[in-house]
Amino acid sequence: MVENSTHDKALAIFAQHGGVLRTKQALALGIHPRTLYALHDAGALERLSRGVYRLADLPPLTHPDLVVVAQRFPDAVICLISGLDFHDLTTQIPHVVDVAIEQGASRPSLDSPPVRVFHFSGAAWSEGIEQYSLEGVDVRIYGPAKTVADVFKYRHKLGLDVAIEALNLYRKHPDFVVSDLLRYARICRVENVMRPYLEAIL
């Protein structure tokens, strides 16, 4: 009975926090490691990644990789191809999670999903960050306009075709605002590169 009570209490704590917790968070909230592992072994918790657990009876995650990365690295920002994919601005299928970290910050290390790290600095780092709640987890993602500008900035690494496609899709996006796009293009120092493509579709 004591074990069932302990397990029920632990599951209730998970439910109160959106159903997903890191091991460190679970321990801080009073869940014993033995309880955590027992619940995982019993199938009540699923392991999303090393040190990240989720209630097994919740609906499937719509963005499991983003949730895991946000849990492990709450200061990182989802960017570039992963950002385009989230905002439906690409036909590319991300094979890694692109994350931006501030210049000088420690580099994230994760066994799964694989992450590709980019160092941003100044306004290019701090501007355009939006926060989304995905399955109860706060995930930081650059907004559509900032993401398009970033992709133009990294066009040599990602491909100019990816950047042009993103711009064309963003033109049809409900949040399309030319002034926002140009502001971020200036921040990313790609206004002169982007402007001819933008003028061609306006």
Residues 38-75: tens digit of each pLDDT: 898 888 888 877 778 888 887 776 788 898 898 888 89
% of the chain beyond a pLDDT of 90: 50
**pLDDT confidence of residue 3:** 60
Taking the whole predicted model, whether its pTM rises above 0.95 is answered as no
Q: What is the CATH number of the domain that holds 144?
A: 3.30.460
Same domain, 79 and 33: no
- Does one domain contain both 49 and 104? no
**Predicted pLDDT at 78:** 97
Q: Does one domain contain both 21 and 92?
A: no
CA atoms in the 13 A half-sphere facing the CB of 147:
32
What DSSP letter does each residue of 88-118 carry, written as one string? T--S---SSEEEEEETTSPPP--SSS-EEEE
**What is the Cα–Cα distance from 39 to 80, expressed in whole angstroms?**
37
Same domain, 103 and 37: no
Count how many domains the chain has: 2
Whether residue 51 is found in the same domain as residue 75: no
Q: How confident is the model at residue 130 (pLDDT cuts 50, 70, 90)?
A: very high
Domain shared by 29 and 75, yes or no = no
| Residue in 88, 66, 79 with CA at minimum distance from that of residue 188 | 79
Tokens 């109160």 belong to which residue? Answer: 16
Q: Could you report the per-residue pLDDT of 165-189, keeping only the tens digit for each?
A: 999 999 998 889 999 999 999 999 9
Residues 146 and 93 in one domain: yes
Quote the pLDDT of residue 117.
93
Q: What is the mean pLDDT of residues 129-152?
A: 93
Looking at the structure, tell me whether residues 47 and 91 fall in a common domain: no
The C-alpha atoms of residue 144 and residue 57 are separated, in whole angstroms, by 33
- Which domain does 74 fall in, by range? 64-201
DSSP per residue, 130-145: EEEEETTEEEEEE-HH
For the cut 50, the answer to whether the pLDDT of residue 1 exceeds it is no
Q: Mean pLDDT across the stretch 119-128?
A: 95
Q: What is the pLDDT of residue 2?
A: 42
Q: Do both 104 and 192 map to the same domain? A: yes
Same domain, 35 and 105: no
- pLDDT at residue 114 above 60? yes
12 shares its domain with 100:
no
Task: Please indicate, yes or no, whether residues 143 and 76 belong to a single structural domain of this protein.
Answer: yes
Task: Return the pLDDT at 179.
Answer: 93
pLDDT digits (tens, 9 = 90+) for 9-26: 888 988 888 788 888 889
